[in-house]
Amino acid sequence: MLRLSTPILGAIAAIATALTPASPQAQQLELKIMAPAAPGGGWDQTARAMQQALTASGIARSVQVTNVAGAGGSVGIAQFVNSAKGDGNQMMVNGFVMVGALIMNKSQVTLDQVTPIARLTEEVQVIVVPASSPIKDAKDLADAIKADIGKVRFAGGSAGGVDHVMAALFANTIGADASKVNYIPFSGGGESLAAILGAKVTAGISGLSEYDGQIKSGKLRAIGVSSPKRIPGIDIPTFKEQGIDLVLANWRSVVAPPGITAEQRKSLTATVEKMTKSQAWQDILKQKGWDDAYLGDEEFAKFLKSENERVTAVLKSVGLVKS
Amino acid sequence: MDAFAALANGMAVALQPMNLLFALIGVFLGTAVGVLPGIGPALTVALLLPVTYKLDPGGSLIMFAGIYYGGMYGGSTTAILINTPGESASMATALEGNKMAKAGRGGPALATAAIGSFVAGTLATLGLAFLAPSLVDFAVKFGPEDYFALMCVAFVTVSATFGDSPIRGLTSLFIGLTLGLVGIDKLTGQARLAFGIPELLDGVEVTTLAVGLFAIGEALYVASRRHHAEEKLEPVRGSLWMTREDWKRSWKPWLRGTMFGFPIGALPAGGAEIPTFLSYSTEKRLAAHPEEFGKGAIEGVAGPEAANNASAAGTLVPLLTLGLPTSATAAMMLAGFQQYGLNPGPLLFAERPELVWGLIASLFIANVMLLVLNLPLVGLWVKLLAIPQPWLYAGILVFATMGTIAAKPSVIELSMLAAFGVLGFLMRRFDYPIAPVVVGLILGPIAEAQLRRALAISLGDPMVLVQSWASVILLTIAAIALIAPFALKGLGRFKASDD
């Protein structure tokens, strides 16, 4: 929770206010959005993008973003569920990574306790190999895994995160034993990218945008993306068209506290839906390279449930969670 | 000659009045946040990101770079004056710098830090301009086994340097290593020593530990000694400015600090802390008056300060050439690039040369601005030390607590700060060095993760640790550093008995 209480942060806030145009027809709606992560990460950027879109399009008069960092969102959600209960003007950003983090951290608070509002964005995942690698496509990688699974070293983000889940799903899908996947977690995309470029590992897994520059410059070869269909303008085949039924996206969403009334839920959903249709939001999506993946409350609730089951099963299969 | 022409063009971009203004805002904000413990440049850039996307990309990136350099500068001021490192990279500065300040030599300490940062920043920015492409090839080849070897060098040199008794130094180091185990294990995702407290899952924050041990511990210790012999603080003794002797003792550490900071900063997992520790231990070994270390040796300020600023420039090497962010601030700057649809990497130099070279040129300008901004303030800063002790230390307590709370507002964090304060007091009281605790917390987790990564890649074969040239050389250095003192001692005894 950055309360901007210190003079320095106050000064930053003053600059921020001076540079943010106020909308003339701003309404009275005042919202609070929690990013359960430190400033700068994906969830924080999503929360701040919402803040920008909601105020710029005049849907809300003011939106305050607070940050509660820690343990893949476990700290934030615990605080959110306890302190915001029944408050119809608060929301929290979350996403795929939180599903695994809560299971692995044996969190007391689960995603069943929050009120799903909407899925907002998603990012496609990619598997890459160094340009010098003999592996040319997903089939080569599958063959290498079938030959000796331990020798195929995957580099990606934190243990139990979306990249790790994807490595396990890849192994599962081609009929290999996911518990034997040799996955090496790195902190942050930079370090794993160095390990891939230096050919210390066989393959790397990450969000597509993170490796985009290296793929375009030819230093990395993308062997497949995890989207259901080919992405327009991107010349990388999907796993599906290569005969591997692996579909996965790193989605981000927004939820409300427990204990809000049906009316409050309806009005929050309407607010968020209106925001996702605004020009300001669409501009931000374009600028950040996020894909619009809007899914309204009921459908999103169903989706959340199925993802929860899928991730739990995967984490069990790789032995990160004891059944 | 291409680089020279490009740099000249970059200068033209950076010298535009608007860009100069952005650089000035950046260094000013950076210095301010560097002074506050807990609030670092990464957080500031993160908060400014959403508001700058309407500005011109060149200007706001120049501002971010100014914040980054400024943060590295500002951290040293509080480290020297009140023994509160503004960020972990200024910890080594606090060791000697605060001793100097207490002996009335705060002026020269601040001056050597400012000028050393300027020299290192300028040299390292030159390195960024001319060596970036070749350095980055080397940096990418640096694998987990090489990092592990580098950590071995750091452990050996650092633990041998602190304190007079190796047993006490090692005890402190192991406290730090234990604290480093707290939190989620990076390789398996399992919680260790977290006792079911969610706040502990991310591990112990380095700034919380450093501020608790250094600042709060110090305040408690001073309070406990108040009725014994009162320690007289002299705000200024002798010259406020650096003497000829100070210059003579500073310039070599500046250059050596740069040699540590720039290449290690360019490594994807290098960071700013390791070069400062390495620089500190090197200066202690090479110093003409090693007995002054621990009592306020100017070399111990000049070297680490140069190292941390040089590493800031080093960090920009992989960021600009590969799009590899290797520090929190660099990651934020990458987000800054991306919000303009720019992807740092090999293509950026070719596609937007005016932006890249404008940024590099503005780093030179930010450096000059920082020097101009900081040197006249030296006289003002040292007046802080003239504040009566009870007020000064009460102020430090408020300041340290505020910084920690601003960075992470939680009861657990505050309790940890207090607990580390008590630990710092006890360690001072019973004469254990405190720096190795922080060193253990920083290096331990990196060494562990890199070793286990190397073994995971080699499928458990330990020979991977000596497979690359870099790791062989580094491990040899570590072995020599470990054995040499004993060997020399033995040799000395042999000679003595020969007489």
Q: Which residues pair with A93 in a beta bridge?
A: A254
To the nearest whole angstrom, how far is the Cα of A270 from the nearest Cα of chain B? 25
B180, B204 Cβ separation under 8 angstroms: yes
In which residue ranges of chain A is pLDDT below 70? 1-27, 39-40, 188-190, 322-323
Tally the residues of chain B: 499
Q: What CA–CA distance (Å, rounded) separates A99 from B338?
A: 27
Fold agreement between A7-122+251-316 and A124-248: yes
The alpha-carbon gap from B343 to the nearest alpha carbon of chain A, in Å, equals 6
Amino acid at A117: I
DSSP strand E in B86-201: where?
A: 183-184, 191-192
* Structure-block tokens of residue B178: 């234990």
Minimal C-alpha gap between B480 and chain A (Å):
28
- Whether the CB-CB separation of B348 and B333 falls below 8 Å is answered with no
pLDDT at B26: 87
- What the block records as the tokens of B215 is 């600042």
Which residues in chain A have Cβ-Cβ distances shorter than 8 Å to B453? Answer: 184, 186
d(CA B496, CA A268): 85
Contact A181, A114 (CB under 8 A): no
Nearest CB among A8, A187, A188 relative to B39 is that of A8
CATH class for the domain made up of A7-122+251-316: alpha beta
Q: How far apart are CA B71 and CA A96, in angstroms?
A: 34
Q: What's the pLDDT score for residue A129?
A: 95
Strands (E), A21-85: 30-35, 62-67
List the single residue in B190, B335, B459 with the smallest CB-CB distance to A151. Answer: B459
The C-alpha atoms of residue A3 and residue B459 are separated, in whole angstroms, by: 48
Taking the model in full, what pTM does it have?
0.76
Q: For residues A190 and A210, give the distance between their C-alpha atoms in angstroms, rounded to a whole number.
A: 9
The two structure tokens encoding residue A212: 């985009």
**What pLDDT, in 10s, does the model give residues A62-94?**
888 887 777 778 888 888 888 888 888 889 999
Q: For chain A, say whether B201 makes contact (Cβ under 8 Å).
A: yes
8 Å CB contact of B322 and A193: yes
* Cα-based torsion angle of the residue sequence B236, B238, B242, B246 in order, rounded to the nearest 10 degrees: -120
Tokens of A114: 């929050």
Which among B36, B198, B324 has the least Cβ separation from residue A190? B324
The answer, for B341 touching chain A at a CB cutoff of 8 Å, is yes
pLDDT of residue B345: 67
Closest alpha carbon within chain B to A106:
B196
Pure H helices in B142-243: 144-161, 166-181, 206-211, 217-224
Distance between B451 CA and the closest CA of chain A, angstroms:
12
Interface test with A, best of B138, B322, B348, B446 (most A CBs within 10 A): B322
Domain regions of chain A by residue span: 7-122+251-316, 124-248
**What type of residue sits at position B275?**
P
Q: Which residue of B has its CA nearest to A185?
A: B187
Strand A90-95 and strand A249-256: the pairing is antiparallel
**Angle at alpha carbon of residue B36, lines to B32 and B41, rounded to 5°:** 65
HSE of A128, CA atoms in CB hemisphere, 13 A:
34
Give the Cα separation of B59 and B158 in Å (integer). Answer: 40
Partner-chain residue, chosen from A20, A38, A191, that has the shortest CB–CB distance to B51: A20
Q: Give yes or no for a contact between B66 and B312, defined as CB atoms under 8 angstroms apart.
A: no
Q: Which of B29, B47, B329, B343 to mutate to test binding with chain A, by most A CBs within 10 Å of its CB?
A: B47
Angle between helical axes of B299-322 and B106-141 (0-180°, round to 10): 40
| Bridge partners, residue A156, by sequence | A185
- In this complex, the residue of A39, A189, A212 whose CB is nearest that of residue B47 is A39
CATH of A124-248, picked from 3.20.20.10, 3.20.19.10, 3.40.190.10, 3.30.470.20, is: 3.40.190.10
Q: Answer whether A185 sits within 8 Å of B268, measured CB to CB.
A: no
Report CB contact under 8 Å: B324, A75.
no
pLDDT, residue A2, reads: 39
Reported ipTM: the value is 0.72
Would you say A188 and B331 are in contact if contact means Cβ atoms under 8 Å apart? yes
Is B385 part of the contact surface with chain A (CB cutoff 8 Å)?
no
B322 touches chain A (CB under 8 A): yes
Q: Name chain A contacts of B325, Cβ cutoff 8 Å.
A: 188-190
Residue ranges of chain B whose pLDDT lies below 70: 1-2, 37-39, 50-54, 86, 159-164, 228-239, 270, 324-326, 338-339, 341, 343, 345-347, 350, 485-499
Residue at token pair 């009005």: A267
Helix (H, G, I), strand (E, B) or coil at A152: coil
Sequence-distant (6+) residues with CB within 8 A of B233 are B102, B385, B389
Residue of B nearest to A195 (CA): B143
